[in-house]
Chain A
Amino acid sequence: MAEDIKNNNTPNDKERDINDKSPTYNYVGDENVLDKCQKEKDEYLDGWKRAKADLINYKKDEAKHFEIIAKFSQEAIIKDLIMVLDSFDLALAALEKENKAENGIYLIRTQLEDILKQHGLERVIISVHQPFDPSLQEAIVSIDSDQPSGTVIEEVERGYLLHGKLVRPARVKVIK
C-alpha cells in the first residue's frame, strides 16, 4: 500500500474485486487519510488484542470447567447412594435393638462405603461438645442444656464431602 501511495498507483474501481468491501480512499490531496488509517489500525489492533485475551481466558476457564465436570460427574448418583447408606444405618440400628443384626449386613454396608470412598467420598467427622460449625454442619434443632451454649450435642444425620466439597452437611442438634 505504501508503494501505491508513493506512486499514486491505486487500483481503480473496475480493477477492484466486486466482493471486496474494504473502504476506498482518494489518496491524492487527502492529508487525513494516513491519520484515518492509523486510527483504524489502532482500533482493529485493540479489538484483536481483546479478542485474543478473551480467547485465552475462555480456554483457561473451559479447562477448569472440564476438570470440575470430570471430578463431580458422579455427584448426583453418589448423593443418591448416600441415602442407601442412611437406610443401612437405620436398618442396622433397628436390628441391633432386637439383637438380630447379622454380620453380612455390616459387610455389605462397609463394602458400599468403601466403594464410595474410592470415588472421593469422605465422611464429615462430628465431635460432640465441640462448637457448631455451619461450614460443615446444619442445625436442625436447638435444645436447652447445662452444657456450653453453641456446642453440638448430637449428630442426627451424617455429613459427607466429595473430593473436599461438601455434598451434604451433617445435621446436628445444638445447645441453645
Chain B
Amino acid sequence: MKILGIDLGTTNSAMAIVEAGEPKILENHEGNRTTPSVASLSKTNERLVGLLAKRQSVVNPKNTISSVKWLR
C-alpha cells in the first residue's frame, strides 16, 4: 500500500511518498517540488490552483485565496 504525505503549508505545499524506504518528494505538473498554496476562481468560473492561481492573483484578487493561515 502506497502512502501519500501532504504538507499543506502557508506559502507552499508539497507531497511525498516512501520509495525503497526513503521519502521522495513528488514533482508537480510544472516539474517543481513545491506548489504555491493558492486557489482561485477565475473570471470565467474556472477553478485554478497552484502556480496558475498565483499568476492571475494580481488581476483577480477578490477570488484568489493565499496564505490561508493568516486569513482573519
Contacts and interface: CB of A to CB of B under 8 A. Distances in A.
A176 interface: yes
A135 B52 contact: yes
10 contacts: A58-B20, A132-B56, A132-B59, A134-B42, A134-B52, A139-B57, A150-B44, A165-B30, A165-B31, A176-B59
A58 B18 CA distance: 12
Nearest to B48: A134
B43 A169 contact: no
Contacts of A142: 58-59
Interface in B17-50: 19-20, 30-31, 42-44, 48
A137 to B, nearest CB: 7
Interface residues of A, number: 19
Nearest to A75: B31
B72 interface: no
Given A142-B59, A169-B55, 13 more contacts: A58-B20, A68-B31, A132-B59, A134-B42, A134-B53, A139-B55, A139-B59, A142-B58, A150-B43, A150-B44, A165-B31, A174-B58, A174-B59
A105 interface: no
Given A58-B20, A149-B43, A150-B43, A139 B56 contact: yes
B55 A150 contact: no
Nearest to B57: A139
Contacts of A137: 55
A176 B43 CA distance: 11
Contacts of B44: 150
Contacts of A150: 43-44, 59
Nearest to A165: B31
Interface in A123-176: 132, 134-135, 137-142, 149-150, 165-166, 169, 174, 176
A141 B43 contact: no
A72 interface: yes
A137 B19 CA distance: 35
A174 B55 CA distance: 12
B31 A72 contact: yes
Contact of A140 (B19, B31, B42, B58): B58
A132 B60 CA distance: 11
Contacts of A68: 31
Contacts of A141: 58
